[in-house]
Structure 1
Amino acid sequence: MKYLNPVVRGFYPDPSICAANGKYYMVCSSMHIFPGVPLFESTDMVNWKQIGHCLTRASQIDLYSVRSSGGVFAPTIRYNNGRFYMVTTNDSYHQNFYVYTDDIYREWSEPVIVDQDGIDPSLYFEDDKCYFISNGNDTDGRGCIQMCQIDIETGKKLSESKFLWHGTGGRFLEAPHIYKFGEYYYLLEAEGGTEYGHMVNYSRSKNIWGPYTPYPNNPVLTNRNLGGYQIQAAGHGDILEDNDGNWWFAHLAFRQIHMWQTYHHLGREVCLVPVKWRDDGWFEIGVNGTTPIEVELPDNIKFTPQKFSYDKTFENLDEKLDWCYIRIPHMENYKFDKNGLELKGTDVTIDDVASPTFAGIRQTEFDLDINCDVIPGAEKSGISFYMDEKHHYEVVVEKNESGTFVYSRQTIGCIWQESKHHKINADKVTLHIKSEAMQYHFFFKDENGNDVFISDAETRYLSSEVAGGFTGTIIGLFAINEKGDGVSRFEKLSVKHEA
């Protein structure tokens, strides 16, 4: 039996995994999007259900004015002595910290700061000791992996930071984890940048402080040589042994929009590949060192077939799990109910490095059919496809002294354009978007329910290859008031994908 990658789709990068109480848990980066650090649970490593976030309060994370793709970088989740720990970086403030909880389904603690620089921190526990690992630069300015021992109760360093390994020479040495399997400590990392040259390497030592000997066949995993293959950028990830003795590597990768179109706009996603141990104590990752779309499952796994079709509506979207916001939201401007959403606009727009009135869900598939009724009360409201404040598309319903108009607006860097403004004579307008891998098609419905074409927009201009950054497209409902305080209502939302 086979499963398909990615196993978690859309903007969920930099996965880290752990096992506890017969189940598996995963966290991912969230950057400047709030709530921070999505948290997932699984019983078979293939099917993952989101159960919460680790950072749900403004007191835990300052995102108020962070740049796009700043904020919360790669997290690590670990379980030790009945407690879960999530360690991460607020890159905008060059601050490493961890939070913890004794109940994975409840709130996490306030942050505990660790005074070691670098990003992509990890924790390793052994014999009542805790080690803190991150990337960094040595005294010569070369990229390296560094480690110190900390007091897990306070975050205080109990040793100086020591440089462990400089990697294999690839750029952007990152994503370190340390494990002990048998008599060896294994130091895992990623290099090449979280893009088309991404790769995974590792080394080992019988002493946790080194010296570390590189795996002779590094990189142990990469898709960098698979031209014309949809899954690219296989890299940054984490290793786990499941309850049945199978070994796994969960890692980031992305799907490009076409086999020969090297753009991706859904963000970095979670893929899963097997780990195979060799007799000499080294291990191999993936299928011939790569991540394929289809992967054969071990016979001893109890597996529920994946489901990719869905229809997301106001009725089945969870306010706390599914909806997300640009930076820290002003929740007094949001009102959810089982039939819809009311948004009170402010003068903060989607172009600003701030928090507009914007409630979003991650785009997880290329092909979507999206419908939503908008009852305009704010000056401008509608549906946005958001990558960052300089790269986003909107279908806008504008209400002004001349009437109500529908049009599209496309922002690509310092360039923007608006389509023809269509005047409507109704209190409600239905917006309709058809999403494909390479294009969005924007429509509204006339009084007879027929599509009226507004414009098309190319997805590649929302891609990381154009926009830069580390996020993925978010489908958002928004409202803007430059002067007034009007409220727009959204009803009958449907975001539908048929696999």
Structure 2
Amino acid sequence: MKYSNPVVPGFFPDPSVCRVEDTYYLVCSSFNYFPGVPLFESKDLVNWSPIGHVLTRKSQLDLTDSPTNGGIYAPTIRYHQGRFYMVTTNVDHGGNFYVWTDNIYGEWSDPIWVDQDGIDPSFYFEGDTAYFMSNGTDDEGKSGICQCTLDIKTGKKLTPTKCIWQGAGGRYLEGPHLYKVADKYLLVASEGGTEYGHMLVCAKSDQIYGPYENDPDNPILTNRNLGGYQIQGCGHADLVSDLKGNWWFIHLAFRQLDRWQQQHVTGREVYLVPVTFIDGWPKVGHDGTTRAQFETDRIASDVSQSPVPNLTLANSQIGNQWLFLQNPDLANYDLSQLPEQVGLQGTTVTMDAAKDSPTFLGTQQRGIAFTLKTKVQLTAGEAGITAYMTDEQHYDLAVRKTATGFELFRRIRLGEARQEDHLISLPSDTDQLEVTLILTGSPDQYSFTAATQGQTYQLGTATTKYLSSEVAGNFTGVMLGIYAQKSADAASSWANFSQLVYQNQD
């Protein structure tokens, strides 16, 4: 069959995968969004269904004052002796920890903390021994890929931490994973930074603590030299075998807005490439590159890759497809009328806030072309839809109550520049306004449309690239969402959102 990349489009970075019998499970980074660590399952590696999140309680995930580039970094998922483990880093609150569950569809444990620095932690199990590694510093102060053994029940270190590999010579060594393939230990990591120079490297050894021999073909996967190719930034991979014994890498990459426009807004996404071992070394993808399509007989010919589904309040869930910023105050959310509508109570915490949690629900922008549409009922304050990259980079289309009625407007926030324009006054003799808000996206621009009282209004466009990771200087992707907020002197009220639809159009 022929499949297309990305297999999970949108802001789902740092993927990790494991297989249990005939089912694959995938986790990704979530940064300062709540719940944390999205969880997917698949039977065929190309169709992935969201089944929830790993970190669903504040006791597991403290995001107090976590910025957009903070919170949860690269997780690893592993299955050992009937139990799932997910290990990750909360870079703002506590460092490295892991949680476990015996039911992948149920609740996970509270965190078990690991007294080891670094980020991008990973587990490797051999017999009853649990090996923990991260890209950090060992007990003698040597930096690189560092490893120790743990008491898996307590997280206590059983052995000193030892640096086992310092990479293949590239900068920003990160994302380590360890495997055993053909009686050799295979250590895979990334270098070059999670940007255009990103690359996957590996080494192998007869002994788990090394010494490790670098693959003579390093980097084994990179698109850094594919100029004019939309897929870039390949790296941070996890290796998995299928039921037939074939090997695959699940890895991150991103799509530029087009071939020659070197910005991306959909974040780092999930890609799939075949792997073949020759003389013990992995040969990856298409001559060491990732392409938009692969044709393979490894996946059954009757498997069909499904497009990204449209999201509505009826076919999606708050806390699964729709996320909060930082730890939310659930008193500001009325979910009692789902799936017909969701209520948001505005507070003085706005979408510009670097701290605290605004009243917001967002989903990943999964296509470069899309439409987000909703109907809003408002009596006071402000409510709208947003294309949100960070608190300093977002575009809003909103309605607010004024002294004489209501007002439609567009807001652009780009760093220190903040502008509200296309103001349209809507005199009203009632205390409530109902308005349809529409946000559309294309490679070049976002467009803003509103409809109310029998009239349709065009509220301009805004350039896409200014919400890109390259301009924003962060590691996430654009989230598309709804929000409510108010000024300090405004009355408190609820905004009701109905007919909420996200439509992917790639």
TM-score, normalization by structure 1: 0.97
1:304 partnered with 2:310: no
Shift of 1:400: 2.1
| CA deviation string 1:421-456 (max 9, x = no partner) | 10124621111222112210111114335x311121
Pair 1:419-2:421 in alignment: yes
Q: How much is the aligned-residue C-alpha RMSD, in angstroms? A: 1.5
Structure 1 residue matching 2:497: 3-state secondary structure: strand
Whole-Å separation in 2 of the counterparts to 1:160 and 1:298: 45
User: What is aligned with 2:440?
Assistant: 434
1:299 deviation in Å?
Answer: 4.5
Aligned pairs for 1:319-330 within 5 A = 319-330=318-329
Partner in structure 1 of residue 252 of structure 2: 252
Shift of 1:171: 1.1
Kindly tell me the number of residue pairs found equivalent between the two proteins.
497
Q: CA deviation at 1:309?
A: 5.4
Aligned to 1:444: 450
Q: Which amino acid aligns with 1:347?
A: T
Counterpart residue number, 1:395 = 397
Q: Secondary structure at the match of 2:466?
A: helix
How far did 1:416 drift? 1.1
Deviation, 1:38, is 0.2
Deviations 1:174-204 (A, max 9, x none): 0000101122101100000001000000000
Aligned letter for 1:100?
W
**Alignment match, 2:500:** 493
SS at match of 1:157: coil
Counterpart Cα distance in 1 of 2:148 and 2:265 = 37
Contact 1:32 1:69 in 2 (8 A): yes
* Matched-pair contact (CA < 8 Å) for 1:273–1:285: yes
Q: How does 1:76-155 map to 2 (within 5 A)?
A: 76-93=76-93, 95-137=95-137, 143-155=143-155
SS at match of 2:483: strand
Contact 1:149/1:157 (8 A) holds in 2:
yes
Aligned residue type for 1:292: R
**Structure 2 counterpart of 1:286:** 285
1:160 corresponds to which residue?
160
Q: Which moved more, 1:474-483 or 1:249-258?
A: 474-483
- Worse overlay, 291-300 or 215-224: 291-300
Alignment-derived partner of residue 294 in structure 2:
295
- 1:475 counterpart = 2:477: no
Structure-2 separation of matches of 1:466 and 1:102: 42
Post-superposition shift, 1:287? 0.9
Q: Residues 142 and 114 (structure 1 numbering): CA distance in 2 closer, same or farther, change over 3 Å?
A: closer
| Counterpart Cα distance in 2 of 1:173 and 1:143 | 10
Partner Cα distance (1:139, 1:126) in 2: 23
| Aligned equivalents of 1:181, 1:108: Cα separation in 2 | 30
Contact 1:277 1:284 in 2 (8 A): yes
Residue 154 of structure 1: how far off its partner (Å): 0.5
CA contact (8 A) 1:132 1:147 kept: yes
The AA in structure 2 aligned to 1:496 is Q
Measure the CA separation in 1 of the matches of 2:316 and 2:173: 38
Q: Distance in 2 between matches of 1:265 and 1:5?
A: 16
Give, in whole Å, the separation in 2 of the partners of 1:24 and 1:75.
Answer: 16
- The DSSP-based 3-state class of the residue aligned with 1:332 is helix
Q: Identical aligned pairs, as a percentage?
A: 47
1:349, 1:131 → 2: CA distance? 44
Q: Which residue of 2 aligns with 1:377?
A: 379
Q: Deviation string for 1:294-323 (max 9, x for gaps)?
A: 011225536531222533222222223111
In structure 2, distance between residues paired with 1:374 and 1:338: 15
Structure 1 unmatched runs, 5+: none
Partner of 1:356: 358
Q: Distance in 2 between matches of 1:176 and 1:425?
A: 60
The answer as to whether partners of 1:367 and 1:437 remain within 8 angstroms in 2 is: yes
C-alpha distance in 1 between matches for 2:255 and 2:427? 42
Check the 8 A contact 1:44/1:303 in 2, yes or no. Answer: no
Q: Does residue 36 in structure 1 map to residue 36 in structure 2?
A: yes
Cα offset, 1:128, TM superposition: 0.6
- Look up the SS of the partner of 2:252 in the other structure: strand
Aligned to 1:313: 312
1:286–1:155 distance in 2 versus 1, CA, 3 Å: same
Secondary structure of 2:119's match? Answer: coil
- For residues 351-399 of structure 1, give each alpha carbon's deviation from its aligned partner in whole angstroms, at most 9, with x where no partner exists: 1122000011111011112221111134111001111111111001111
1:256-275 pair list within 5 angstroms = 256-275=256-275
2:152, 2:298 → 1: CA distance? Answer: 39
2-structure distance, mates of 1:247, 1:33: 32
CA distance in structure 2 between the aligned counterparts of 1:277 and 1:425, rounded to whole angstroms: 70
CA 1:111 to 1:477, structure 2 compared with 1: closer, same or farther past 3 Å?
Answer: same
Q: 1:71: how far off?
A: 0.6
The 1:137–1:170 alpha-carbon spacing in structure 2 relative to 1, beyond 3 Å, is farther
Q: Distance in 2 between matches of 1:70 and 1:303?
A: 42
In the aligned structure 2, how far is the partner of 1:299 from the partner of 1:94? 42
User: Taking structure 2 as the reference length, what is the TM-score of the superposition?
Assistant: 0.96
- Whichever residue aligns with residue 340 of structure 1, its letter is Q
Q: Match of 1:341? A: 342
Aligned partner letter, 2:317: D
Cα drift, residue 140 of structure 1: 9.3
Q: Deviations over 1:46-96 (max 9, x none)?
A: 100011111000000110111211010000000000000000000123510
Report the secondary structure of 1:347's partner residue: coil
Q: Aligned partners of 1:497, 1:212: CA distance in 2, in Å? A: 45
Instruction: Give 1:343 shift.
Output: 0.4
Question: How far apart, in 1, do the equivalents of 2:423 and 2:224 lie?
Answer: 45
209-218 or 469-478: which moved more? Answer: 469-478
Is 1:457 matched up with 2:462? Answer: yes
The separation in 1 between residues aligned to 2:286 and 2:299, in whole angstroms, is 19
